[in-house]
Amino acid sequence: MTTSSVKGFRDILPEEAAGRRAVLATASEMLVAYSYREVELPLLEHGELFARTIGESTDIVEKEMYAFEDRDGSLLALRPEGTASLVRAYIEAGLSRSLPVARLYYQGPMFRRERPQKGRFRQFTQIGAELIGRNDAGADAESISLAADICSAAGVEGFRIEINSLGDQQCRPAYREALVAFGREHIAELCDDCRSRIERNPLRLLDCKVEGCRTLMGAAPMMGDQLCDPCRAHHDSVLEILDASGIEVVARPSMVRGLDYYCRTAFELIADGLGAQDAIGGGGRYDGLVAKLGGPDLAGVGFALGVERMLMAAGSQATDAGPEMLVAPLCAEAAATAASLARRLRQAGRRVEIGSAERRLKAQMKSADKTGVAFVVIIGEQELAGGSATVRDMAAGQDLPACFPLMATGAEAIAAMEGGGRDEA
């Protein structure tokens, strides 16, 4: 009997690991170019943190959190997202005093108990960036620009940016009422989920996937038509700055996002060809969230990208670089010298694998050929006695005329091998 992995939790095998590392490194570079600094956040938080921020009646909090009671009776949760944790950390560390405008980012696994399907997992990795302390339209535009630039730099092709404004405390309550009225009027045409959403979370009616609801909601009032003047002006400024920066966005008036903390700008990056789970990232403005968690009244805007979906959209072919050299001991007595020499070569910057003294030279050569090794450093009884190794140039298919000294430093050995060998060859 073998024990399998937990449903929705994947192993990242070597073929995928290199591509992921490259995406994360590229993202970090871009984040640093935009002046963001990294924060490493814990995976486990108090459950109430997410109920207070993402919202009690959201799918994430109601159905998808891995929440459990700890031994002391406290309710803990594996983080389903990073914004709430980052804002908590920002307040807890008193950063509002030293960094009233903070650009912070995080990378790491998030957990949601959703139904697994293509591009949707129960453990997935996000790259998230938050800009706290700026309420101007330039901040929203910066966030969108950064998300787009990370995706482009990571090789994600063919994505579009969709945008909407969700209004604020001034204009959203009236819109919410209009939506509730619309829902009540058409209750017979709505699915069961939407019927229960009408009073609890009416905005979610707008992103129901059921065909009947989608058709009906096409005729529903839209937030964009009911924005108050300041929200309208803010949205227009965001669009104007993006346009001036050469960043194309398309309006999606029905976008509401699945987390309650948003106000004004909401955006998603959608990739072609990913199927149903085509959002490679999403974000928006969350003024009021810092205060809600007990901090000062600061604005905020940010986004998170899904690394697995970015990789799917980029079709990454990255692989780890294989060994450049194989040190092949041919007898048990050569094993210690081989290990010591291999270590010196690595210290000189080479990628080096050691063969087994129990395998014949032919077998060791064959695997060197397979892994694309350029040089095989052979150490048998003869080499031990003579104090220098025989080096096989795999591309040339012959031994180098110059051997290298077994006791030399890695750099000396390489110089002897490359310089001496090539000159004479």
User: Nearest distance from residue 35's CB to ligand HAM, in Å?
Assistant: 17
Nearer to ligand HAM, 162 or 353 (CB): 162
Could you give the C-alpha distances from 5 to 108, 110, 325, in angstroms and in order? 19, 17, 36
Nearer to ligand HAM, 23 or 379 (CB): 23
DSSP β-bridge partners for residue 378: 328, 390
Nearer to ligand HAM, 167 or 421 (CB): 167
User: Nearest distance from residue 282's CB to ligand HAM, in Å?
Assistant: 3
Stretch that binds ligand HAM, among 40-48, 177-185, 297-305, 311-319 (CB under 6 A): 297-305
Number of residues that bind ligand HAM (CB under 6 A): 26
279 binds ligand HAM, rule: CB under 6 A? yes
Q: Which residue in 96, 50, 48 sits closest to 75, CA to CA?
A: 48
Residue pair 326/352 in contact (Cβ under 8 Å)? The answer is yes
Residue pair 351/368 in contact (Cβ under 8 Å)? The answer is no
User: Nearest distance from residue 43's CB to ligand HAM, in Å?
Assistant: 14
Could you give the C-alpha distances from 176 to 60, 173, 244, in angstroms and in order? 21, 5, 33
Which residue's beta carbon is nearest to the bound ligand HAM? 306
- Binding characters for ligand HAM, 62-101, by CB under 6 A (x = yes): -------------------xxx------------------
Stretch that binds ligand HAM, among 283-291, 351-359, 382-390, 409-417 (CB under 6 A): 283-291
309 binds ligand HAM, rule: CB under 6 A? yes
128 binds ligand HAM, rule: CB under 6 A? yes
Q: Which of 202, 282, 295, 355 binds ligand HAM (CB under 6 A)?
A: 282
Stretch that binds ligand HAM, among 160-168, 300-308, 327-335, 374-382 (CB under 6 A): 300-308
Q: Which of 133, 202, 281, 410 binds ligand HAM (CB under 6 A)?
A: 281
- Binding characters for ligand HAM, 316-355, by CB under 6 A (x = yes): ----------------------------------------
126 binds ligand HAM, rule: CB under 6 A? yes
295 binds ligand HAM, rule: CB under 6 A? no
112 binds ligand HAM, rule: CB under 6 A? yes
Q: Which of 36, 105, 124, 159 binds ligand HAM (CB under 6 A)?
A: 124
Residues within window 10-69 making contact with ligand HAM, judged by CB under 6 A: none
417 binds ligand HAM, rule: CB under 6 A? no
Task: Give the chain's radius of gyration (CA, Å).
Answer: 29
Q: Which residue in 308, 307, 300 sits closest to 89, CA to CA?
A: 300
User: Nearest distance from residue 119's CB to ligand HAM, in Å?
Assistant: 6
Query: How many whole angstroms separate alpha carbon 183 and alpha carbon 77?
Result: 33
Residues 6+ apart with CB under 8 A from 283: 143, 144, 147, 266, 267, 301, 302, 303, 304
Residue pair 55/258 in contact (Cβ under 8 Å)? The answer is no
Nearer to ligand HAM, 54 or 345 (CB): 54
The first and second tokens of residue 185, run together, are 């009027």
Q: Which of 175, 182, 267, 303 binds ligand HAM (CB under 6 A)?
A: 303
Nearer to ligand HAM, 104 or 190 (CB): 104
User: Nearest distance from residue 333's CB to ligand HAM, in Å?
Assistant: 53
Residues within window 357-416 making contact with ligand HAM, judged by CB under 6 A: none
155 binds ligand HAM, rule: CB under 6 A? no
Q: Which residue in 332, 185, 340, 201 sits closest to 259, CA to CA?
A: 201
User: Nearest distance from residue 235's CB to ligand HAM, in Å?
Assistant: 17
Note the residue count of the chain: 425
Query: How many whole angstroms separate alpha carbon 87 and alpha carbon 250?
Result: 29
- Site residues (CB under 6 A) for ligand HAM? 81-83, 112, 114, 120-121, 124, 126, 128, 130, 258-259, 279-284, 286, 302-304, 306, 308-309
